[in-house]
Amino acid sequence: MYTITVGGNLSIIITYKLSPSLHTPMYFFIANFSILELLYVSCTVPEMLSGLLSECKVISFSGCVIQMYCFLLFGGTECYMLAAMAYDRYNAICHPLLYTVIMNERVCIQHIVGSYIIGAANALIHTAFTFSLAFCGSNEIDHFFCDIPPVLELSCQDIWANELVIFVIGGCVLIGSLVVTIISYVEIISKILKLHSVSGRKKTFATCSSHFIVVTVFYGSAVFMYFTPRSSHRIGQNSVVSLMYTVIAPLLNPFIYSLRNKEVKSNMKTIILRQIEYLNYNFRLF
């Protein structure tokens, strides 16, 4: 699954880079989202695979700090990049004539940079609060990576302040980006319903439905993990839910966003055929 995730996202990045016809705001966001997904999945899954394949299932304290920060950085960034992508689709569908003016290159870059800044600030706050606690009991994390809830369970201090920070700061990041996404989709659906052409409705729904699937999987599992009472979580449930947004969502993204997109597939096919022709030409010379 990890290999497919990496291969799928890399293929999207390479296809975007080598295809001038895809250099539009929508594909700019998709390519940057693929880069983010590579970073996001690589900060947890390799360590998990290493633990599954070896007897030594250990991570150092500093390694745990770095892993938590990176995971929260890329996770928070993903929230706002999904919101930026929803806003991009809103402008493309609701303001088609002004689309290239509204979503110019400078605005697109600002959305990407802003997403990373919010993600970095969110990660710094949560990581600093988590590891400012005293850990004097068990050192066994009941999870496959250093996530906030399972690490907090190892502290011998009262963690009510940390839970408040998760609820307030995490809530602002998660709910804030979700509100932007929902508003964008409400406007998009309203616009779609006004279309007289049935084929136009189908095409627009197909464009947006893939994004909506990713948003549902990502936000649904994240809300369950961070914003439901710990007493309601059964043994092993946290790990299963975490797999949804750390492994399953990044795995599905290349297929949902791009690999079923005719334009992307066409450009990908052209690049592959071009490389085959180039190799054949070199072999003939040899």
pLDDT tens by residue, 226-265: 776 655 555 566 778 788 888 888 888 777 776 667 788 7
Q: Which of 71, 83, 102, 101 is nearest to 33 (CA)?
A: 83
pLDDT of residue 204: 65
Burial of residue 158 (number of CB atoms within 10 Å: 0-12, 13-18, 19+): exposed
What angle is formed at CA 24 by the lines to CA 22 and CA 30, rounded to 5 degrees? 75
Mean pLDDT calculated for residue range 91-95: 88
84 — pLDDT class (breaks 50, 70, 90)? very high
Instruction: Confirm if 222 and 235 have CB atoms less than 8 A apart.
Output: no
Q: CATH number, domain at 255? A: 1.20.1070.10
Residue-range definition of the domain harbouring residue 120: 2-285
> Would the pTM count as exceeding 0.85?
yes
Domain tally for the chain?
A: 1
User: What confidence tens digit (pLDDT) does each residue in 148-190 have?
Assistant: 888 998 888 888 888 888 888 888 888 888 889 889 888 888 8
Size (the chain), residues: 286
Q: Kind and range of the H or E element at 188?
A: helix 171-193
Judged by DSSP in three states, 131 sits in coil
45 — pLDDT class (breaks 50, 70, 90)? very high
The HSE-up count of residue 147 (CA atoms within 13 Å, CB side) is 20
Q: Which of 121, 130, 114 is nearest to 68 (CA)?
A: 130
The residue with greater pLDDT, 94 or 232, is: 94
- Distances from the Cα of 139 to the Cα of 97, 150, 152, 274, angstroms: 58, 11, 11, 54
Distance CA 99, CA 280 (A): 42
Report which residue type is found at 259.
L
Instruction: Confirm if 218 and 93 have CB atoms less than 8 A apart.
Output: no
pLDDT of residue 55: 78
pLDDT of residue 38: 93
| DSSP code string of 59-90 | --HHHHHHHHHHHHHHHHHHHHHHHHHHHHHH
